[in-house]
Amino acid sequence: MPALDKLKALIAPAKLLTDDSSLAAYGKDWSGQFTPAPLAVALPKTIEQVQAIVRWAIEQGVALVPSGGRTGLSGAAVAANGELVVAFDAMNQIIDFNPYERRVVCQPGVVTAQLQQFAQDNALYYPVDFASSGSSQIGGNISTNAGGIKVIRYGLTRQWVSGLKVVSGTGELLDLNQGLIKNATGYDLRQLFIGAEGTLGFIVEASMQLSRAPQNLTALVLAVTDLDCIMPLLHSFQSKLDLTAFEFFSEQALEKILARGDVPAPFETRCPFYALLEFEALNEDISNQALSLFEQALENGWVADGVISQSTQQLANLWKLREYISETLSHFSPYKNDLSVTVSRVPDFLRDIDQLVQQNYPDFAVIWYGHIGDGNLHLNILKPDNLSKEAFFSKCHEVNKQVFETVQRYQGSISAEHGVGLVKRSGLNYSRSPAEINAMKAIKAVFDPHGIMNPGKIF
Amino acid sequence: MPALDKLKALIAPAKLLTDDSSLAAYGKDWSGQFTPAPLAVALPKTIEQVQAIVRWAIEQGVALVPSGGRTGLSGAAVAANGELVVAFDAMNQIIDFNPYERRVVCQPGVVTAQLQQFAQDNALYYPVDFASSGSSQIGGNISTNAGGIKVIRYGLTRQWVSGLKVVSGTGELLDLNQGLIKNATGYDLRQLFIGAEGTLGFIVEASMQLSRAPQNLTALVLAVTDLDCIMPLLHSFQSKLDLTAFEFFSEQALEKILARGDVPAPFETRCPFYALLEFEALNEDISNQALSLFEQALENGWVADGVISQSTQQLANLWKLREYISETLSHFSPYKNDLSVTVSRVPDFLRDIDQLVQQNYPDFAVIWYGHIGDGNLHLNILKPDNLSKEAFFSKCHEVNKQVFETVQRYQGSISAEHGVGLVKRSGLNYSRSPAEINAMKAIKAVFDPHGIMNPGKIF
């Protein structure tokens, strides 16, 4: 194919892959619902090569799909329509570090865990963390504004990006905010590219800020007697302690985890919900404060039992109760949703969704877990044994419309942290108004006038 | 004027002012360089009235200027060309508060200090604070992404906005992000309106997040022996303590403050620079840590003297050394600049600018102060007594071009926190590339196709 030969020459010595196994691997993400069919896979090593690829794509009328760790669950990195995949695996270096500024300049293919490790090696901390941090790349994190388990204290990826270099859909390089903390010179275009899923341009370099490393992290797992006790519990702890996490999971989730056999039970008591709180036990005062809050929670009847970590090993074990859920449930062909509402509305929302699924499909098991301190709930509906995968997913699709209508009624988000991609595109209107969607499309046209940057994703 | 009569009827019973003193008062901000000449001043009380005003403006081809506390220094709220001023003084209520979410829903005319007080009354904290917080309004804070003295710990206004209602230049109401913590559904349009100086639309409601109230705030004022000691000093303290402020000012600034006679000297020692550090002394360990860091800094020769606050009265007095500077200097007709570079480049940058002014105008006094922990420096050049105001400002304008060129060379910002407005419009290209400025203009056209929303500001 002459167009590909031309591209190969343009980006040489960077690689251009066209073998079947590369196409299959690079054309999909963890959503797993789309058949990969990319034209080829380019692995640029420099910003100039990325620019050359974009100019080639404009000339040839070929669409581009950016590719990081492909750990996304929404199909944003899927190439199913003859697109050229632009994979950032070969741009995976940390190219600068300034300890005074706690700022790391990363290429987009730096793996999240690599940045976390780099921070740790420098007695600092990169606080955005989630289950796929061992594979996901910084470019992808930024493009989805990744959240995870420490948002209640450290915010989303957005908060840690102090500069972005992006190649827009015209092939131009934009150098946005250059690592500045304060810069009040007009619209902060950097913010637009964060969470844009590569539809406006590709991130080719990022300045990431680091934080002081947390000390003596300590977890409490509490057995919560009733859904309505979660909010006063959160309020009570949050008013006295700087929580680094406030996660939750349901009894059904705990059952599945304990059935694995490799995670110890936190305690004998069983309750409908469990909360995992984490804080820095910087000194004895803080630890005592946490214990007295726990005792108060017991007295108030909000919790029936609890355990506090006394070592890093115990801390790790308690976290397994929460962190192993996603992988454990994956064996039950779950129908997943990643929803959010404002924090105080979580109990009502959760009850409404439970009722909805129960009414429609009384034999479907619903498993809840998530980042309740951020209002972010992962809803998992498990396939009953007697139903085929196809029949199950088709029924779930039916109830999903009502789930999204409920989200809309609560003014919530149909995608709290997983992005929109292809999977949630048809649901975008439940969380964004027609005027907003029109504005987004017009903004896309500003940065991507040829419509070649990850087209068909988000909207 | 029939157009105004029509507007009056449209927004009744809300006020429409046309008297000279209102026009003069509402047509200007604290920049003080422009002659106010608005058409009239509308004081809407509801979102619907704001929408009616925008629709009227489209029909009549009248430009609109939003007006908050008008404490800005860049002329963003100036109406000098027959614009209609839309002042938010009558939309000044806190309309909702959710303690579980620590979220306050504010009308745009809520004064910053009013929100700070509300937070305090509810045992919480609104952390964005600066000299004009007694007059500035939340709508204006958001429109300039206000910074101030606690950014090193709490970030800019952007970080505290979880939802925005805006009326765009088409008169449409956009309800952006609705107070959600996590929402990964496409471009975060909320971020565009933050810092847009009212050029895309007017903020008519905002969800503001609050924080845990800081406890036992303690300040250290240190006499810094040399500019090059500032960065290791910051690094040393920041690696052990969560600083809530790291401010600095020069000996010349201190002289002016002490000459007032109402602020006690922190100590006898004189040094070229002083740093004001603040932290939460949550317990004795932390206070001891601060003292040992101070002793280390003495040993290293970074500082020559220091004082630590032992009471809230002493804390307030130490802060006066920093907070009274702006007002004190205002009596010397200063030529002001609000610049930023990345933190570690501050010393070199400051030296380069000093040299520049010295070379051109050896008789001009340069006074530095600012938020050095954020790389944000306020440069003040004082008028010599023997020079007229006009001659002085015209010479400053000349040297300003070289100041901005230096900023550009350092990839810094010509406006760290004061916005662009009219004052810095001609300097925008020193901090933003032509491609960025074109993108900004195209984005403005998306939200303000008729060009009526604060036209001529920023670019």
Q: Which burial class, exposed, middle or buried, applies to A441 when counting CB atoms under 10 A from its CB (0-12, 13-18, 19+)?
A: middle
| pLDDT tens per residue across span A22-62 | 999 999 999 888 999 999 999 999 999 999 999 999 999 99
Q: What per-residue string of b and e applies to B420-438 under the rule 16 or more CB within 10 Å gives b?
A: bbbbbbebbbbbbeebbbe
Position A203 scores a pLDDT of 98
The answer, yes or no, to whether residue B431 has pLDDT greater than 80, is: yes
Position B1 scores a pLDDT of 77
Q: Mind telling me how many Å the CA of B136 is from chain A's nearest CA?
A: 17
Secondary structure percentages of chain A, helix, strand, coil, to 5? 40, 25, 40
Co-location of B287 and B375 in the same domain: no
| Minimal Cβ distance to A159: which of B159, B183, B419 | B159
| Minimal Cβ distance to A156: which of B182, B375, B446 | B182
Co-location of A16 and A65 in the same domain: yes
Kindly report the CATH number assigned to the domain that includes residue B175. Answer: 3.30.465.10
Co-location of B140 and B194 in the same domain: yes
Residue A199: pLDDT band (50, 70, 90) is very high
Kindly report the CATH number assigned to the domain that includes residue A307. Answer: 3.30.70.2190
Position A381 scores a pLDDT of 93
Q: Do B413 and A184 touch (CB under 8 A)?
A: yes
Residues of chain B contacting A99 with CB distance shorter than 8 Å: 235
- What total of structural domains would you count in chain A? 4
Position A331 scores a pLDDT of 87
Residue B285: pLDDT band (50, 70, 90) is confident
Q: Considering chain A, what percentage of its residues have pLDDT values greater than 70? A: 100
Q: Considering chain A, what percentage of its residues have pLDDT values greater than 90? A: 92
Q: Do A431 and B183 touch (CB under 8 A)?
A: yes
Co-location of B80 and B133 in the same domain: no
Residues of chain A contacting B411 with CB distance shorter than 8 Å: 175, 178-179
Residues of chain A contacting B374 with CB distance shorter than 8 Å: 181-182
| pLDDT tens per residue across span A369-387 | 999 999 999 999 999 988 9
C-alpha closest to that of A215 among B295, B289, B343: B289
| Minimal Cβ distance to B413: which of A159, A180, A342 | A180
Position A449 scores a pLDDT of 98
Co-location of A261 and A309 in the same domain: yes
Spatial separation of the C-alpha atoms in residues A357 and A222, rounded to whole Å: 27
C-alpha closest to that of A245 among A214, A287, A208, A209: A214
Q: Which of B326, B348, B371 is the last residue in one of the domains?
A: B326
Chain Cα centroid distance, residue B150: 12
Co-location of A129 and A204 in the same domain: yes
Co-location of B61 and B169 in the same domain: no
| pLDDT tens per residue across span B355-409 | 999 998 898 999 999 999 999 999 999 999 889 989 998 999 899 999 999 999 9
Q: What is the mean pLDDT of residues A432-454?
A: 98
Position B27 scores a pLDDT of 97
Chain Cα centroid distance, residue B103: 22
Position A6 scores a pLDDT of 96
Q: Do A415 and B101 touch (CB under 8 A)?
A: no
The nearest alpha carbon in chain B to A429 belongs to B185
Evaluate whether residue B317 is within a structural domain: yes
The answer, yes or no, to whether residue B338 has pLDDT greater than 80, is: yes
Residue A439: pLDDT band (50, 70, 90) is very high
The answer, yes or no, to whether residue A195 has pLDDT greater than 90, is: yes
Cβ atoms within 10 Å, residue A53: 24
Spatial separation of the C-alpha atoms in residues A382 and A380, rounded to whole Å: 6
Position A33 scores a pLDDT of 87
Position B331 scores a pLDDT of 87
Co-location of A314 and A342 in the same domain: no
Q: Do B412 and A187 touch (CB under 8 A)?
A: no
Q: How far apart are the first and last CA of chain B?
A: 31
Q: Which of B274, B303, B326 is the last residue in one of the domains?
A: B326
The nearest alpha carbon in chain A to B102 belongs to A235
Evaluate whether residue B222 is within a structural domain: yes
H helix runs in A300-416, sequence order: 312-323, 325-329, 346-360, 389-409
Site from A168, A181, A422 to mutate, B interface, most B CB atoms within 10 angstroms: A181
Q: Mind telling me how many Å the CA of A71 is from chain B's nearest CA?
A: 16
Position A307 scores a pLDDT of 97
Q: What per-residue string of b and e applies to B179-190 under the rule 16 or more CB within 10 Å gives b?
A: bbbbbbbbbbbb
| Minimal Cβ distance to B187: which of A180, A283, A440 | A440
Evaluate whether residue B145 is within a structural domain: yes
Co-location of B254 and B308 in the same domain: yes
Position A406 scores a pLDDT of 97
Task: Provide the token pair at B164.
Answer: 């925005």
Residue A2: pLDDT band (50, 70, 90) is confident
Q: Mind telling me how many Å the CA of B262 is from chain A's nearest CA?
A: 32
The answer, yes or no, to whether residue A322 has pLDDT greater than 90, is: yes
Q: Mind telling me how many Å the CA of B263 is from chain A's nearest CA?
A: 29
The DSSP-derived string for B234-270 is: HHHHHTTS-EEEEEEEEHHHHHHHHHHSSS--S-S--
Evaluate whether residue A109 is within a structural domain: yes
The nearest alpha carbon in chain B to A411 belongs to B178
Q: Do B145 and A184 touch (CB under 8 A)?
A: yes
The answer, yes or no, to whether residue A1 has pLDDT greater than 80, is: no
Mean pLDDT of chain B: 96
Residues of chain B contacting A180 with CB distance shorter than 8 Å: 340-342, 375, 412-413, 416
Amino acid of residue A32: G
Co-location of A83 and A98 in the same domain: no
Chain Cα centroid distance, residue B395: 26
Q: Do B151 and A182 touch (CB under 8 A)?
A: yes
Evaluate whether residue B208 is within a structural domain: yes
Q: Are A109 and A89 in contact (CB under 8 A)?
A: yes
Secondary structure percentages of chain B, helix, strand, coil, to 5? 40, 25, 40
Evaluate whether residue A449 is within a structural domain: no
Position B26 scores a pLDDT of 97
Residues of chain B contacting A458 with CB distance shorter than 8 Å: 186
| pLDDT tens per residue across span A203-254 | 999 999 999 999 999 999 999 999 999 999 999 999 999 999 999 999 999 9
Q: Which of A179, A212, A245 is the last residue in one of the domains?
A: A212
Position A162 scores a pLDDT of 98
Evaluate whether residue A441 is within a structural domain: no
Evaluate whether residue A443 is within a structural domain: no
Task: Provide the token pair at B250.
Answer: 């020069």
Residues of chain B contacting A423 with CB distance shorter than 8 Å: none
Position B217 scores a pLDDT of 97
Kindly report the CATH number assigned to the domain that includes residue A368. Answer: 3.30.70.2740
Is 0.90 exceeded by the ipTM?
Answer: yes
Using alpha carbons only, what angle is made at residue B217 by residues B312 and B256, rounded to the nearest 5 degrees?
Answer: 65
The answer, yes or no, to whether residue B328 has pLDDT greater than 90, is: yes
Residue A361: pLDDT band (50, 70, 90) is confident
Domain that holds residue B255: 217-326
Spatial separation of the C-alpha atoms in residues B189 and B164, rounded to whole Å: 9
Position A11 scores a pLDDT of 96
Position B333 scores a pLDDT of 84
Co-location of B109 and B63 in the same domain: no
Co-location of A235 and A198 in the same domain: no
| pLDDT tens per residue across span B68-116 | 999 999 999 999 999 999 999 999 999 999 999 999 999 999 999 999 9
